[in-house]
Amino acid sequence: MTRRELHPVTGGDTGETEPLLTPIFTGRKRVEYVVGIVLWALALAYFWQWWLISATPNHLAGYILVTALLAWITILPLYFITIFFHAARPPTGPLRIPAGSRVAMVVTKAPSEPFEVVAETLRAMLAQDVPHDTWLADEDPSPATLAWCREHGVYVSTRRGGRADYHRQSWPRRTRCKEGNLAFFYDHYGYERYDFVSQLDADHVPEPGYLFNILRPFADPAVGYVSAPSICDRNAHESWSAAGVSMWKPACMARCRPVTTEALPRSASALIMRYARQR
């Protein structure tokens, strides 16, 4: 498999900084979008002029209730219109994070989860085309698990061995809990060894190119972490309810976007899905 290299944030021979995001609506598309907004606003103005001035309500209470509902239906699209007006995407091309950045992917499992599920995720992690270390955070890995990881070049982080401070009965660092596994990983390996860590759950099987694209927003040094919405479409063909969730959940979790932050506390490392430590 071809491995993609890490490039500095500045690109080209001139050393000029490339834009971190490029607008989606430009030129003719932007004009068409603005025209559509104007026509929508004019139609709403005509309707509300009729509703508030020309219409004659028969029941005041019902008129007020319906007016409130119509106002909500009118105002709600403004949010999405504004978002799409400013919509932007990362530029195509090389991954623009500092050369030599240390990258890792880590997956954790609960004691009740079978290793076969995690193994599929680990294989997909190993197949990513960005150079990185692959880790399994397991509370008590079996000899078979350790042998599999050794054979495939997967590092293992485990809090087995009498570490009472990582086997607490309450949060943080709870025993028999994924949060405790991840806290041990970050405290002993993640913070010290890596600049960027992609954190996955046991059944989060990443598609090819996933790591490359999830690292793109970190070209902006103000970005502290990136969280992608859950796309639960793997079993969409099995039932109508599964297909519905695959469409409804991403919309409810909002669009995938970088989050600007000044710093991230260590306690947040086990609570976010994608994490990069700020230097």
Angle between helices 143-152 and 115-126 (to 10 degrees): 10
3-class DSSP state for residue 190?
Answer: helix
pTM of the entire predicted model: 0.68
Let me know the angle formed at the C-alpha of 243 by 239 and 248, rounded to the nearest 5 degrees: 145
Residue 1 clears pLDDT 80, i.e. is over it: no
DSSP state letter for 204: -
pLDDT at 55: 81
Measured CA to CA, the distance from residue 264 to residue 243 in angstroms comes to: 35
Is the distance from CB of 190 to CB of 104 less than 8 angstroms? yes
What is the token pair recorded at 224?
Answer: 């502290």
User: What is the torsional sign of CA 220, 224, 229, 235?
Assistant: positive
Sheet holding 133-138, edge to edge: 155-157, 133-138, 103-109, 196-200, 274-276
What backbone torsions phi and psi does residue 276 show, to the nearest 5 degrees? -135, 130
102-276 maps to which CATH number?
A: 3.90.550.10
Domain residues of the chain, as ranges?
A: 23-88, 102-276
- Range among 8-17, 122-131, 234-243 rated most confident: 122-131
3-class DSSP state for residue 93?
Answer: coil
Counting every residue written for the chain, the total comes to 279
Measured CA to CA, the distance from residue 137 to residue 155 in angstroms comes to: 9
Is the distance from CB of 217 to CB of 88 less than 8 angstroms? no
Indicate the helix (H) or strand (E) that contains 119: helix 115-126
E strand residue ranges, 202-256: 223-227
What is the token pair recorded at 175?
Answer: 């025993």
Q: What is the pLDDT confidence band of residue 95, given thresholds at 50, 70 and 90? A: confident
CA-nearest of 183, 143, 135 to 163 is: 183
Residues 6+ apart with CB under 8 A from 86: 23
3-class DSSP state for residue 88?
Answer: strand
pLDDT digits (tens, 9 = 90+) for 11-20: 444 445 667 7
pLDDT digits (tens, 9 = 90+) for 172-204: 776 667 888 899 999 999 999 999 999 999 988
Taking residues 200-219, report their average pLDDT.
90
Q: How many other CB atoms are there within 10 angstroms of residue 192's CB atom?
A: 10
pLDDT at 98: 87
